[in-house]
Amino acid sequence: MATVQVENVRKIYTRDTQTIVVLDGISLEVPDGEFVALMGPSGSGKTTLLNLIAGIDRVTSGMIRVGDTTVTGLSDAALAQWRSRHVGFVFQFYNLIPVLTAVENVELPLLLTRLTKRQRRERALTALRIVGLADRAKHYPRQLSGGQEQRVAIARAIVTDPSVLVADEPTGDLDAASAEDILTLLDTLNRDFRKTIVMVTHDPRAAARAHVERHLDKGVLAASVERHVPASRDAHEVPA
Partner 1 sequence: MKFLPYVLQHLRRSWIRTASTVAGMALCVFLICVLQTVLAAIESSIAGASPSRLVTRHAVSLTFNMPLAYKARIQAIDGVDRVAISNWFMGVYRDMKDFFPNFAVESEDYFAMYPEIRVPPDQMQAYLQDMQGALIGPDIARKHGFRIGDQFQMESVIPPYRVRGPMTFVVRGIYGAAPGREGSVNMTTMYFHYRYLYETIQGAEGVGDYAGAGTFNLQLRDPDLATAVMRAVDTNFENSDVQTKTETEGAFLSGFISLVGNLAGLLGAVGLAVAFTILLVTANTMSMAVRERRTEIAVLKTLGFSGGRVLALVMIEAAALGVLAGALGVLLAQALVGGLADLPFMGLLLGNFPALRVSPPVAGFTFTVAVVLSLGAGFVPALTAYRGRITEMLRHA
Rounded Cα distance between 115 and 2, Å, is 30
74 touches partner 1 (CB under 8 A): no
DSSP-derived pairing of the beta strands 220-226 and 69-70 = unpaired
Question: For residue 173, which amino acid is it?
Answer: D
80 touches partner 1 (CB under 8 A): yes
85 touches partner 1 (CB under 8 A): yes
Site for partner 1 in 156-175 (CB under 8 A): 156
Residue 10 contacts by C-beta under 8 Å, 6 or more apart in sequence? 21, 23, 24, 25, 26, 59, 60, 61, 62
The SS3 assignment for 186 reads helix
Tell me the closest approach of the beta carbon of residue 150 to partner 1, in angstroms: 14
Tell me the closest approach of the beta carbon of residue 166 to partner 1, in angstroms: 10
**Left if phi > 0, otherwise alpha if psi is -120 to 50, otherwise beta: which for 22?**
alpha
Tell me the closest approach of the beta carbon of residue 3 to partner 1, in angstroms: 18
Tell me the closest approach of the beta carbon of residue 211 to partner 1, in angstroms: 25
Q: Cβ closer to partner 1: 57 or 187?
A: 57
**Can you give the binding site for partner 1, defined by CB under 8 A?**
48, 51, 54, 56-57, 76-77, 80-85, 89, 91, 95, 97-100, 104, 108-109, 111-112, 117, 156
